[in-house]
Amino acid sequence: MCKQNQEMEVTIVAYGIARDIIGTSELILKVDEGITVKDMLTLVKRKFPDFEKLTSLLLAVNEEYVEENHIVESGDELVLIPPVSGG
- pLDDT tens profile 17-42: 999 999 999 999 999 999 999 999 99
The model's pTM is: 0.83
Q: What pLDDT is attached to residue 69? A: 96
Homologous superfamily assigned to 7-76: Beta-grasp domain (3.10.20.30)
User: For residue 57, what pLDDT is reported?
Assistant: 87
Instruction: Look at strands 77-81 and 7-14 and give their pairing.
Output: parallel
What pLDDT sits at residue 58? Answer: 87
* Mean pLDDT, residues 41-69: 93
Q: Work out the mean pLDDT of the chain and round it to a whole number.
A: 90
Give me the DSSP letters along 24-73: SSEEEEEEETT-BHHHHHHHHHHH-GGGGGSS--EEEETTEE--TTPBP-
